[in-house]
Chain A
C-alpha cells in the first residue's frame, strides 16, 4: 500500500505543478461568479440559477480534467518512457495503476473543493447568509466527485489497451450512454424481439449509471436528498471502480511497453 501512496503523491505533485489545471479551476470560478450577475437579473430565483450554474461548472470542468488527465495518466508514462525506471523498482504494475488513480482522485477532490468553496462564497454573496438547507448543495458536489472518480477509472481502463484518442472517445461515449440508463431500462418497443429486449435490459445494468449522480434539481431547489441515495451512490461507485480498475490492472500487467 505504501507504494500506491508514493505514486499517488507524485501524481498529485505533477497536477499541482500543471498550470492547465489552475486555468480550468479559474475558469470554473469565473462561471460561478458570472452566476451572481445572471442571478440578479433572474427575479426571485437567484439561488436556483446560482446553484444550477455552479454545479454545472464544477461538473463540466471536473469531467474535462477527469477524462483528459485520466487517459494521459498511464499512456503518457508509456509514451515518454518514464515508466521504465519506475517499474525497475520493487513495485507491482497494479500498485502503479492504483497510485495513479488515487493521485488523480485526490487532485480532483482538491479542485472540486476549491470550486465548491467558490460556489458557497457566491451563494453567500447573493443571499448574505447560509442556512442548514444549503448543505444539500454539498451533497450535489459530493455526487459530482463520485461521478468523476468513476470517469477516471473508465478513462484509465480504456487507456490501458487503446490509443489516447480512442480512450477519450470511449470514455466520453460511455459517459453519455450512462446518462440515459433509465430510459434504456424502460425501453419497450413492440417491434423488438424478446432477445433484443433482454440485451438492452442487461446492457442497462452493465453500463455505469451516471443518472444516479444527478441531483442538481434537488440541490437547486433545496430539497433534501435521502441518506439511502448517498449510501447507494457511494457503494455503487466503490464497487464499479473496483471492477473497472481490476480489469485495467489485468490488461496493464500483461502489456508490453515499448
Chain B
C-alpha cells in the first residue's frame, strides 16, 4: 500500500481489522514482527522524520493537569520554535479547532470532543507535511465532525498529505482521493472510493406517484413498494423502458429515475460478511 504525496487517503475497516495497529507501527509505538514501512522515504524507525509528521492518536489522552494552551506549547517545544513563535502558533491552533475561549482550562475539565480537537491541534501545530489521523471524527457531535472535515479539506488544499483511519464510510467517501480497505489484518483493496466498489450498476430505481384504481394501476401497485406518499420500484437496466411504459399506461407521475450503484458500505459489508463466513467455516472444520 502506498500513499501518494498530496492525497487524502482513507484507511477503512471494521473494529479490530488492524487499522490502529498499522498506524501505531508507522508511528513507532509498536514494532513489526515482519515487513517494512517507510514514511517520506525514511524507515519508520527513524524518528527524525517525525518533524514532518502530525499524529492524532485514537481517543487521544493528554496530561490533564495542563491547560489546552500548555499542552500545545509543550508539543511545539519539541520542534524548536522560539517562545514568540510558540505563543502565536498555539493561539492560531486554538482558533482553528474552535477552542480559543478554552485555552486556559485544564484538560481534566474537557469533554471527549474537546480533547479530540486538542489532539488535532497538537497534530498540526508544527505545520507538518504529512498527517496521520487515527479515527479523527470519533467522539465528535455532527457539528464537530463537520468542522474536522472542513479542517481536513483545508489541509488538503494547502498541499498536505493525509492518511486517516475511519469506520464512518460517508466521511471516507466525502473526503478521500483513495481508500484502502483492511479486514482481518489484510489489505483487501486500494483505489478511489468509486472504483474500489466497482462501477457496475445494480439496476434502476423509479420513484413515482400513483392515484386512482383499475386493473392496470393495481398491477403496477402490486410490483411497487410504498414509500411515504410515493411508490418505489427497482428494475434491471434492460427492463427500464418496459417499466416506464407500464407506468405511463397506469397514468403514474414519474418523480425520479436513478441508477443504483454499490456504495462503499456495501463493499465493506460484503468483505466483513465473507470474513465472518470464513471464520465460521474454520470453526466448524476445527470442531
B30 in contact with A257 (CB, 8 Å): yes
| A-side interface mostly | loop
Name the interface residues of A77-109: CB closer than 8 Å to any CB of B: 80-92
B61 in contact with A81 (CB, 8 Å): yes
Name the interface residues of B54-112: CB closer than 8 Å to any CB of A: 54-57, 59-63, 65-66, 74-75, 77-80
Inter-chain contacts of A45 with B (CB < 8 A):
none
Task: Judge if B27 is at the interface, Cβ distance under 8 Å.
Answer: yes
Q: Which of B27, B56, B59, B119 contacts A87 (CB 8 A)?
A: B27
Q: Kindly provide the distance from the CB of B43 to the nearest chain A CB, expressed in whole angstroms.
A: 15
Q: Which of A14, A17, A84 contacts B57 (CB 8 A)?
A: A84
A81 in contact with B65 (CB, 8 Å): no
Inter-chain contacts of A90 with B (CB < 8 A):
47-51, 78-79
Q: Which of A6, A17, A18, A256 contacts B78 (CB 8 A)?
A: A6
Task: Judge if B175 is at the interface, Cβ distance under 8 Å.
Answer: no
Task: Judge if B29 is at the interface, Cβ distance under 8 Å.
Answer: yes
Q: Kindly provide the distance from the CB of A11 to the nearest chain B CB, expressed in whole angstroms.
A: 10
Task: Judge if A10 is at the interface, Cβ distance under 8 Å.
Answer: yes
Contact digits for A57-71, partner B, Cβ 8 Å, 1 yes 0 no: 000000000000000
Nearest residue, chain B, Cβ from A16: B65
Instruction: Given the known inter-chain contacts A85-B55, A85-B119, A88-B27, please indicate yes or no for A14 contacting B65, CB distance below 8 A.
Output: yes
Q: Kindly provide the distance from the CB of B47 to the nearest chain A CB, expressed in whole angstroms.
A: 6
Inter-chain contacts of A84 with B (CB < 8 A):
24, 27, 29, 55, 57, 60-61
A85 in contact with B75 (CB, 8 Å): yes
B122 in contact with A87 (CB, 8 Å): no
Q: Which of B30, B31, B78 contacts A89 (CB 8 A)?
A: B78
Q: Kindly provide the distance from the CB of A106 to the nearest chain B CB, expressed in whole angstroms.
A: 16
Task: Judge if A221 is at the interface, Cβ distance under 8 Å.
Answer: no
Interface centre among B56, B74, B122 (most CB of A within 10 A): B74
Instruction: Given the known inter-chain contacts A6-B74, A6-B77, please indicate yes or no for A88 contacting B53, CB distance below 8 A.
Output: yes
Nearest residue, chain A, Cβ from B48: A90
A88 in contact with B50 (CB, 8 Å): yes
Q: Which of A17, A88, A254 contacts B31 (CB 8 A)?
A: A254
Q: Which of B30, B55, B62, B63 contacts A88 (CB 8 A)?
A: B55
Name the interface residues of B109-155: CB closer than 8 Å to any CB of A: 119, 122-123
Inter-chain contacts of B65 with A (CB < 8 A):
13-14, 17-18
Q: Kindly provide the distance from the CB of B71 to the nearest chain A CB, expressed in whole angstroms.
A: 9
Task: Judge if B16 is at the interface, Cβ distance under 8 Å.
Answer: no
| Alpha-carbon separation in the docked complex, A82 to B57 (Å) | 9
Nearest residue, chain A, Cβ from B80: A2
Inter-chain contacts of B60 with A (CB < 8 A):
81, 84-85
Inter-chain contacts of A13 with B (CB < 8 A):
65-66
Can you list 26 pairs linking A and B with CB atoms under 8 Å apart?
A: A13-B66, A80-B61, A81-B57, A81-B61, A82-B62, A83-B29, A84-B24, A84-B61, A85-B57, A85-B60, A85-B122, A86-B75, A87-B29, A88-B53, A88-B55, A88-B57, A89-B75, A90-B48, A90-B49, A90-B51, A91-B50, A91-B78, A256-B30, A256-B31, A257-B24, A257-B30
Q: Which 10 A-B pairs have the closest CB atoms?
A: A88-B55, A89-B78, A84-B57, A256-B30, A90-B50, A17-B65, A90-B51, A6-B77, A81-B61, A257-B29
